[in-house]
Amino acid sequence: DGGITQSPKYLFRKEGQNVTLSCEQNLNHDAMYWYRQDPGQGLRLIYYSQIVNDFQKGDIAEGYSVSREKKESFPLTVTSAQKNPTAFYLCASSQSRDPYNEQFFGPGTRLTVL
């Protein structure tokens, strides 16, 4: 899983609560990404950031928020507005915004709503 860490590994949330998933990288990468993985659906992009203090919505940003105050950190908040948040969340980074750069993934956080 390279130089990307995600915490916690497992997270349980009650309905109506906001939770924040941590993602840290020590690869000195400019770009960072958050994906959601559901069985049989592959990965779907939630948010991405190509530079500090800037981020863009992906395909399924509703109910999520992010910040990018430091190059190495890209936390994801799952808000109570996300109707079906139970999923496996993956953080990734790439050296730059260039389309030919591969992405490196963290080990993931499994979020379960009780």
Q: Which residues bind another protein (CB under 8 A)?
A: 1, 4, 6, 33, 40-45, 48, 58, 88, 90, 92, 99-100, 102-108, 110
Nearest to 91 by CA among 42, 59, 43: 43
Least CB distance to another protein at residue 108 (A) = 5
The rounded distance, in Å, linking the Cα atoms of 61 and 80 is 13
Q: Residue 85 or residue 89: which is nearer to another protein going by CB? A: 89
Tokens of 52: 């500090």
Between strands 31-37 and 104-105, the pairing is unpaired
Of 16 and 42, which CB lies nearer to another protein in the complex structure? Answer: 42
Least distance in Å: CB of 90 to another protein?
A: 6
